């Protein structure tokens, strides 16, 4: 369904807005000023820094198709009725009070390179391929890794703060540092601590560093300084891991902007807001989606 049609369909429905935290009803057709929406519902925002939430918030289930570590393997998300939904578009980003949803693609201490298939219907998680072969990291990743829903790194936008690098055309990546190994497709409530500006073959590939709220140390960790105190060496280890993981395949090391170190929580929130706005433009087709699936 076209974005405009989807938005018009919600007129008259009761919805809620994180800015006011009070229900309101759309009396007229929504305009397309500053808004974010999922396939189902829409939230209007009046401030650039307001990262809005999808109202459509199903209790998602996981449905596997095919066998793990095969080309056919897919992890779909369904709502309680069994209908497929997109983890990228339909799961809300913002939960309020600085808490965000995070979708696990790669559990810590594993090496299969899993990712949301942004060009397939309902954007399931699959194992990445190269030249028809399944991709693996050369060694295990030491943290839970995945994405922030309803974000997008715009490949037409050159970031002047990070060497003019263009976005990588994907949702924003998250490195989640809690102690527990998670499962593919698990949705966690996390809070950002900082962000690394990785530059991968000239493309900007943000890495939000976050922690799940259910980690025993979560209440102690709120910014990069706290991360250094309670998880000593972790930020450096994350940077070095992502800098070097392609070297065994004969590729050069990745680079990092912003002084080659993790920027603080405020900067991470800025990145999340900007990429959420880019996603909103994508799904309302203000920007060409190319081969990306908006379903």
User: Looking at the annotation, which residues are catalytic?
Assistant: 137
Q: List beta partners, residue 134.
A: 129
Query: Rounded CA gap, 151 and 211, in Å?
Result: 18
Nearest to 207 by CA among 238, 165, 162, 178: 238
- Give, in degrees to the nearest 5, the angle at Cα 18 between 15 and 21: 75
Q: List beta partners, residue 194.
A: 209
The count of other CB atoms within 10 Å of the CB of residue 9 is: 15
Nearest to 84 by CA among 120, 35, 43, 53: 120
Place of tokens 């925002």: 45
For residue 71, give every residue at least 6 positions away whose Cβ sits within 8 Å of its Cβ, in sequence order, or none: 127, 129, 132, 134
Query: Rounded CA gap, 79 and 44, in Å?
Result: 24
Return the exposure string of 262-281: e unless at least 16 CB atoms fall within 10 Å of the residue's CB, then b: bbebebbbebbbbbbbbbbe
- Tell how far CA 225 is from the center of its chain: 23
Query: Rounded CA gap, 254 and 263, in Å?
Result: 17
């Amino acid at each position: 369904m076209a974005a405009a049609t989807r938005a018009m369909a919600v007129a008259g429905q009761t919805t809620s807005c994180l800015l006011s935290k009070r229900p309101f009803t759309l009396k007229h057709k929504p305009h397309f000023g500053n808004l974010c929406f999922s396939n189902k519902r829409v939230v209007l925002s009046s401030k650039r820094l307001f990262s809005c939430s999808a109202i459509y918030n199903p209790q998602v289930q996981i449905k596997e198709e095919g066998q793990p570590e095969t080309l056919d393997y897919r992890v779909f998300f369904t709502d309680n009725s069994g209908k497929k939904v997109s983890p990228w578009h339909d799961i809300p980003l913002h939960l309020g009070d600085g808490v965000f949803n995070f979708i696990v693609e790669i559990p810590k201490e594993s090496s299969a390179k899993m990712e949301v298939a942004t060009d397939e219907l309902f954007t399931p998680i699959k194992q990445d391929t190269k030249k028809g072969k399944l991709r693996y990291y050369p060694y295990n990743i030491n943290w839970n890794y995945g994405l922030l829903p309803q974000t997008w790194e715009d490949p037409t936008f050159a970031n002047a703060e990070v060497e003019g690098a263009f976005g990588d055309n994907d949702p924003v990546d998250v490195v989640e540092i809690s102690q527990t190994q998670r499962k593919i497709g698990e949705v966690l409530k996390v809070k950002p601590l900082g962000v690394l500006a990785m530059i991968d073959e000239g493309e900007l590939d943000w890495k939000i560093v976050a922690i799940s709220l259910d980690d025993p140390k979560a209440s102690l960790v709120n910014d990069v300084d706290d991360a250094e105190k309670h998880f000593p060496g972790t930020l450096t280890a994350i940077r070095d891991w992502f800098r070097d993981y392609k070297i065994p395949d004969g590729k050069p090391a990745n680079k990092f902007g912003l002084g080659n170190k993790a920027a603080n929580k405020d900067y991470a929130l800025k990145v999340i807001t900007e990429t959420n706005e880019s996603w909103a433009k994508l799904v309302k087709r203000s920007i060409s989606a190319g081969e990306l699936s908006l379903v």
